[in-house]
Structure 1
């Protein structure tokens, strides 16, 4: 029987690994997939959005069904649906069908929403309370590592298989799903649940519409331009829908025998604080998305080479999660949350205030190590422990689903809060670079002229917009050459009668362009520093915001009761 429990534990951990890995694995491939299927960048967002929406809707329903009919049974159904969606997503590559990909992503998300909360609830229940922290620490470690490594694994698969075979990003799930289902069929756990209360169908329907409304509105919301966002057709109708449906949902759930989302969770001080901390951890989780670009900018690395630092961070996350679980058993969940949010805040401030000024790889690693430790301590283990400790045993999966849903709402709004710091800095790039570029000579006795960008080819302009710190000077040279070519007729005209004998205006313009590009080369250090500092100003604000978010989490953690398992 003990061996069966160990095998089932491995099965659930496999499910958690592929479920959380998949949420990030597609990120680096979105542009590749869009180009392959001839889809615009705006429409390509739907391959991520549709997964996010269906995933959020499926979580509370899957959790409630597993509490009613058995966690292992519903986990197996969820993993099967996830595997089927993964297979269809992979095949859409070879059928060259974007609608097929979107439908397949929805199927995949329908199964994915049940994997994490059900597995976490089952594993937590399988261990006695004095060892529950250690068990959930393993869950947190697997979840943390796979979540952080998702984009890196995605890039590695694309690099090995080639961009034309992006379907492998999804097909890699299929053999793991087959193994998990085989284990589930062969190993019996002896648990049997017989529902005794009426299923809350009306509550489930309204909850689905409520979650879809708020998630879609938040996904499209720009918190840095509040007024414009609120008036957007992609936001206000869904906010109104949410406001209208919320009281309807509350009335239905109060009357339901077995509510989809138990409203008592929000009236219990400890559970409400736990859910608020889940929301905060969800917002902070997305900060890792910007770390590769930040590392590349401060260390002057080529685009795509900063991913190994995320891998390093994942190692610290993977160490911290099981360690945090053991410390929960020894001390308390509150202790680990306070420790974790403190590490995250200090690490984020190191990146925001020190690394941007000194560009030291050692200080960068120290900051990332602290953030990785903080993420490992806070992201899953203590919150999962708190929710399972404070709800009845027959509600653990639905309570875990509520926790995951609240965290997902935090994840949904996080990019819209954080990315604008980088966007605002990027808007200043061209102006700041033009201000330190050498002026273009306009011929004998004519005043030199600053670069303006007028008449420049779209390719040269795009080169600057897509450049990194290692390619910015070459991009500026192409930009300058394009601008001089566009100005050449005017320059030649101004040279008329002023050139030495035997020197044609064409030759003079060519020589002038070559001399100017040499000046740009000689200004390389200044141009790279300007590029770095402009982007770093955005990264600095982003990580200060991440530190503030962690400090809010720290304050909420201090408000928890200091419960210790005896």
Structure 2
């Protein structure tokens, strides 16, 4: 294959990977806006994300098997077309069709999206010679990493530009890119032939779909910080039971299938099994970036929503590291780049957890994020994709890549529910610690700030969603609410003690104003208490992320060179 043709094909597939990876992140900041625009609450609007995640995971192994049977380019282009149609329907739901149409659109999007990344990766890996495969897959890793990390930033910026009322734009942006990819596909002839005449494993495809749906949905709803109560939830245990019941049925079907949708031999091969385990670890570690914006906002004392731009720093370093990692793989080995990647992630997460969280050092924050970006670029896709294609027969490349992506998706589903425990525990400590540094109430009962009963819903919501820049104003509003609540009682208690012509309400309002002034005077102390309490939770989170990366580092040591690496 000529270099010019190779580069053209690479660009085409990278465009597909970019829109597929970007869409996951770009929709996240728009979910609340979409929910508001459609008149649905947050608990319902989460299905905009959930339905895509579930369908995406289900379709990956099936699309991989289809592409190995009928040709990677053909199934990839079908996937792009389906993704474009789903995107258009999601955008149209902004004006017509409402919530039902956007769910249908997201489902169709996921069917297309699940066939983009693994098939594109498999095609690129098998189309380039072994000595250039790492470099080509490095571009895949860079594209995927950049698109994934800057997706939320692009989503926020796009909404700021077009206005929240035009949220459909975040979906319409995919359509012209899909059209470009389809037109590009017409410019080159596919050299692939039909790889197999064996019938599709329909039974296995149906059962694995049920297994993935039940497992992913159960894990998504499982709250590890409240494991006992969570596992009893009707949103969790029935789905995990379904998975357990379907598993032996699936194994029975696959052992007898002529061409199984999931090759069970992958889990018997030592190197492939380790590669799949590392994919799970990378997926679990990847979700640590979900908490980076909130942590950065707390450290820098900036408003909620602006910390997402800090993720762009990680994306830049990830985008630089991935192709460099690909070249190192071509020259040395995938094992080396995995060790460098996990090592960089360990240093980055420990920098955030042990240094930044303790002293709010801005320089250390940027260094930690840069190291995490490098680690992500080195580990997220390139070496694992390379190893998988090294260990399996070329005729199973797409199936193998789909399996790799599926295992990573399971890691992604589990990780946030584990890591969020550390932040939620810190949040539980906040009320007590904040009350300890609140100024004493002069001229009124000292327990006036303890609540004395239920609070208005908006006040409770404000306390729960406060950040370091808003906590003082939230506490002032809380104090004002308490004074208003107890005003009748206070006025009655001091009314008989006042001099003539003095209003009890005037005195109470004076006490209230003086107290609010003293709260404002304590702003620095209150903000520092809030900041450090939350930082302690984030510190544990990043240390846990470092441990995950350490496990990845240890298992990377166990990897042995594949036949193509040995031959090289």
In structure 1, the partner of 2:446 is 448
Whether contact under 8 Å (1:16, 1:142) holds in the other structure is: yes
Deviation at 1:79, TM superposition (A): 0.5
Q: CA RMSD in A?
A: 1.4
CA distance in 1 between counterparts of 2:364 and 2:542 reads 15
Whether contact under 8 Å (2:135, 2:326) holds in the other structure is: yes
Q: What is the 5 A alignment of 1:471-486? A: 471-486=470-485
In structure 1, the partner of 2:527 is 528
CA distance in 2 between counterparts of 1:456 and 1:283 reads 38
In structure 2, the partner of 1:35 is 36
In structure 2, the partner of 1:423 is 424
Q: State how many pairs are aligned.
A: 563
- Structure 1 residues 248 and 231: CA distance shift in structure 2, 3 A: same
In structure 2, the partner of 1:193 is 194
Runs of 4+ in 1 over 4 A off after TM superposition: none
Whether contact under 8 Å (2:448, 2:483) holds in the other structure is: no
In structure 2, the partner of 1:279 is 280
CA distance in 2 between counterparts of 1:462 and 1:201 reads 49
Q: What is the 5 A alignment of 1:503-518? A: 503-518=502-517
Per-residue CA deviation, residues 451-501 of structure 1 (Å, 9 max, x unaligned), is 113464433333222221111111111111111111111111121232244
Per-residue CA deviation, residues 272-303 of structure 1 (Å, 9 max, x unaligned), is 00000000000111111111110010111111
- Structure 1 residues 225 and 497: CA distance shift in structure 2, 3 A: closer
SS in 2 for 1:259: coil
- Does structure 1 residue 139 correspond to structure 2 residue 137? no
- Does structure 1 residue 128 correspond to structure 2 residue 133? no
CA distance in 1 between counterparts of 2:363 and 2:217 reads 40
In structure 2, the partner of 1:44 is 45
CA distance in 1 between counterparts of 2:19 and 2:356 reads 34
CA distance in 1 between counterparts of 2:495 and 2:241 reads 68
Q: What is the 5 A alignment of 1:54-133? A: 54-95=55-96, 97-133=98-134
- Structure 1 residues 441 and 62: CA distance shift in structure 2, 3 A: same
Moved more, 117-126 or 185-194: 185-194
In structure 1, the partner of 2:253 is 252
- Structure 1 residues 457 and 243: CA distance shift in structure 2, 3 A: closer
Whether contact under 8 Å (1:9, 1:123) holds in the other structure is: yes
Deviation at 1:63, TM superposition (A): 0.5
- Structure 1 residues 14 and 323: CA distance shift in structure 2, 3 A: same
- Does structure 1 residue 213 correspond to structure 2 residue 211? no
CA distance in 2 between counterparts of 1:504 and 1:496 reads 8
Whether contact under 8 Å (2:423, 2:541) holds in the other structure is: yes
Deviation at 1:419, TM superposition (A): 1.5
In structure 1, the partner of 2:176 is 175
CA distance in 2 between counterparts of 1:100 and 1:45 reads 15
- Structure 1 residues 264 and 165: CA distance shift in structure 2, 3 A: same
Per-residue CA deviation, residues 284-327 of structure 1 (Å, 9 max, x unaligned), is 11111111110010111111111221001100000111011111
CA distance in 1 between counterparts of 2:128 and 2:497 reads 90
Deviation at 1:442, TM superposition (A): 4.0
Whether contact under 8 Å (1:456, 1:486) holds in the other structure is: no
CA distance in 2 between counterparts of 1:253 and 1:294 reads 45
Whether contact under 8 Å (1:120, 1:139) holds in the other structure is: yes
In structure 1, the partner of 2:538 is 539
* TM-score (norm. length: structure 1): 0.97
Moved more, 244-253 or 104-113: 244-253
Unmatched segments (≥5 aa) in structure 1: none
In structure 2, the partner of 1:315 is 316
SS in 2 for 1:449: helix
Deviation at 1:365, TM superposition (A): 0.4
In structure 2, the partner of 1:561 is 560
- Structure 1 residues 389 and 562: CA distance shift in structure 2, 3 A: closer
CA distance in 1 between counterparts of 2:457 and 2:232 reads 32
SS in 2 for 1:470: coil
CA distance in 2 between counterparts of 1:38 and 1:64 reads 40
Unmatched segments (≥5 aa) in structure 2: none
CA distance in 1 between counterparts of 2:194 and 2:390 reads 21
CA distance in 1 between counterparts of 2:409 and 2:194 reads 28
Whether contact under 8 Å (1:141, 1:321) holds in the other structure is: yes
Whether contact under 8 Å (2:71, 2:193) holds in the other structure is: yes
Deviation at 1:561, TM superposition (A): 1.2
Whether contact under 8 Å (2:448, 2:486) holds in the other structure is: no
SS in 2 for 1:199: coil
CA distance in 2 between counterparts of 1:190 and 1:329 reads 25
Deviation at 1:562, TM superposition (A): 4.4
Whether contact under 8 Å (1:442, 1:494) holds in the other structure is: no
Per-residue CA deviation, residues 131-188 of structure 1 (Å, 9 max, x unaligned), is 1111100000000000011111111111111111111111100000000011112321
Moved more, 196-205 or 289-298: 196-205
Q: What is the 5 A alignment of 1:200-349? A: 200-349=201-350
Per-residue CA deviation, residues 10-29 of structure 1 (Å, 9 max, x unaligned), is 11000000000011111111
Deviation at 1:331, TM superposition (A): 1.3
Whether contact under 8 Å (1:434, 1:450) holds in the other structure is: no
Whether contact under 8 Å (1:351, 1:540) holds in the other structure is: yes
SS in 2 for 1:26: helix
Whether contact under 8 Å (2:195, 2:395) holds in the other structure is: no
Moved more, 273-282 or 421-430: 421-430
Deviation at 1:248, TM superposition (A): 1.1
- Does structure 1 residue 458 correspond to structure 2 residue 457? yes
Deviation at 1:103, TM superposition (A): 1.1
CA distance in 2 between counterparts of 1:388 and 1:537 reads 42
Deviation at 1:430, TM superposition (A): 2.1
Deviation at 1:450, TM superposition (A): 4.8
In structure 2, the partner of 1:495 is 494
